[in-house]
Structure 1
Amino acid sequence: MERKLNINTEECRMDVLAKLNSFRKESKYCDFVITTAGRKGIPVHKCVVAASSEYFDAMLSHDTKETREGVVEIHDAEESSIQKCVDFMYTGEASVSDEMQADVLHVAHMFGLHGLYNAIALFLEHELDCATFFATRQIANIYGLPRLVSVCNDFALKNFLDIAQMEDFKKLEAKDLDFLLSADGLEESDRSKCKALMIWINYDPSRAESLFSLLKHIDLDQTPVNYRMFLVKEEAAVSKYKECFELVMKSIFGDKGKSCDTTLKPRIVVFDHTSMKMRSLEVKKGIWTEMQDLHEDMRRSRSAVLVLEDYLYAFVSELNEGDQKNYRIKYRECDAKWEAIAVRRGRWGRAVALNDYIYINDQDQDSNLIERYSPRENKWSFIARSEHVLKGSVMAVAAGGYNPIGQHASNLEIFCASSNMADVVTLPNFARACFMCHFLDGIIYLVGGDRGLTTTIGAYDLKTTAVTKPITMDAISMRHCESVIAFL
């Protein structure tokens, strides 16, 4: 009766494989050569490559030219990538640089080395980010890697806005963009989807023919009316094609041709601590209009305010020690109420809206972090202050505070992010601190200042470099930073 002996089978197998690998390196007992055009080639053993590779097993199982001559020439592959695959067949191990991944995957896929190309696919999956997304997705589609394709699709849906900023986004095929815009898992706002769509359309004018079918995946009613008016007036692809034009106009006017609201104009909105209401100014007419009541927390504190899509946001500080609260309101709805949103860590900071996010840098803390708020997720996160929050041709203005001898300053710093240049302008007869600046139609409006002691709005014309006659804010008492541009 035979009894099975206690032998380390795996160790024996590895010893045999290691011995075969040493024979290969010495070209000992090798009976086959894998080569590329103009190269000497890589000596191997038929039995090893046939046992490891479906490609070589099929080739060497028949009376082929390669079998008879003992040489096979591989086209469209680098010898270094073939060498990596041969090493894998003899050792079961592989190390591949980022630059070689695609070509090694190509050779591994050709040879039928499932373990190797699955390992590369898993690595690509773990390393997936916005910078690698498009190359990884292309690899997944070319070599039919369903799991990697699925991972790329999920990533695109969760990071749509970020990948839409990448240059390769403009090179997507229409069917791929159609998939992204129509997918149930896409969590971005309809305005963000529409903006990304127009970036893709404008990259190649011939794509305008696809606009109508792609627009159907966007709920235009969920985008701001002024943005839809912009599409009609400024986007050639929308105005050129009748069906696109009518689709957008229908979302504005409705089926009966009655405008839902086409008279939206930019106005300056301030928090008035006299009436305890928000009030809006139609600048050209100098007309003030009362809006909603301030929240109770806003009446006894100061707030940083901004507008993003249909909401006006207020980030309230200086409540109880260490306390702050955040609110938003649908400012165009007369009976709208303030609703609380997630609380940030910092106490006081300036706010800016960009690409559907809100950024605040804390003014009271010596920190190198900026807090970022996602309205969709109602969640705050942190980014390094060294990252550029302002992008593109954005103009930012900063109000001067006090001069070296403690008097109010009369300087205005104008910064253009596209050129990374700043100019300091001296404003005659406008010495005050803590005023807000708003840029509109070539004019910088200088609102309030000195915690409500200054109740006028000045205007600096960028073309004429003149400060116009101040606009009176009636009996309005506003605290600094409590003004914003809104469409009403």
Structure 2
Amino acid sequence: MLKYDTKESRDRKVVLKDVDSQCVKKCIDFIYSGKLEIPDGSIIELLHVAMMMQLDDVKQAVSNILEESITIENYFSTRNVGDIYGLTDVSLRCRIFLQENIMEISDQAGFESIDKDHLLGLLKSGELKLWEEEKLALSLKWIDKCQSKNEYLHEFLKVIKLDLIFPAYLQQMLETHPRISNDSELYMLFSGHILKASVKAKEDNDADKLIILFDGDTKCLRSFNPITEEIEKFHGAKFDFPMGFTAISLDSYIYVFCKAKSVHRLNFQRKNSKWERMNDMICDHGIAPSSVCSTGSIIVIGGTGDTEKADVERFDPSVNQWFLLRHKPSAISNASLVSLDDSIYCIGGWRDGIEVSSFCRLTPSSAEWVDLEPMRCPADRCGVVAVDQEIFVTGGYGYSEDDIFHNVECYNVTSAQWTSLSSMNLPHCINSAYRIGNWIFVVNEFWESHHIEKYDLLNKKWCNMKKKPSHLFDVCASVMVKL
């Protein structure tokens, strides 16, 4: 300034206006001594004076102090100083500090001043060591503080991996955050990820499940793997029951119910185990009695074939004992049973010489029966399986043995309504249905018609099996087990 033809050059004097006199003195002292003392609370004023006096050493000293004193509380003020005065090192240190402490900084006033594209870049780059839940919470907090439109949230969600977020957290956000619940597109997005996570959890839980097929030709058990769709020999113990029986699994055992009240079981977890005879049922339910597992017990209801029964009994495997329960209000044969929550649902069957569409619910704890909305199509010996709060009913017999159904119906327990679904590719009369992962497998158990079909729960359609069985045999019963 004093080198050129200016007023300050002619007067040999420079006037500094609007500056702190004490800071000016400290700068002059630094010129002569090389030592810098910063007055309390005057670091910004000192930097301002140093910039005016073009004292780069003072500027660097102040920059070093700012770098070393960044805190959560002063982050934004320090960042602003670095940006305003061109302190590159301070700005760089602030960027690093933001990456390391962004969740705490997000609670401070000024968080909304962070540039959207900068925050998006951080989330996308992986520089933030955050869980996906934290990234979602951070994005929502920034948008709320900025009072921005929801279109920004859509941008943030493109760089957040929702499939890595716990479904319970997604459900909480869906229920409590209006930006999500009031946006139909976001609502569907979150709901879809919650459903997929639920299905994946179910698949993980079902990873060791097999469908066991009773080979009527060799009297051996074979396993159907729902993942590979391979059929292999399952256990060395052969069965010699008369044809016409049902099977269910409970814990480590497969139970078989035959005519003349007889009951047998096999511990399928033990390699060298044999079939053992259990105590007989109290009542004669005919051949292939209708049975279901419920809260650690086995329930048998009604009769089979032309034998209509109202008898209901419960088996306690811990004591090998049968107990009579209150009769069903009306006799039935060939009904299908499924357990859901604390209730047993009795579906279809045969009464007075014809198939019926009856549908009722038993609460075992109170022995109370309640009639429900009947099925749309009368049928007996249907396959039935519960999926969450829905009951799927597959195939069965119609009014004659030649009338075998492709039909599939679904009952929603919450809405108490039946819905007709797409038909199976093949007819299934006597069949069993099993839910494994996001699939329903239907196994036909009638003479030589031993085909298996699968239903895609996510896409709501029947699919072809990946491969046909390498050998065919007479499936006379089936049961699902977990290894």
- TM-score if structure 1 supplies the norm length? 0.37
Report the structure, 1 or 2, having the larger helix content: 1
- Greater radius of gyration (CA): 2
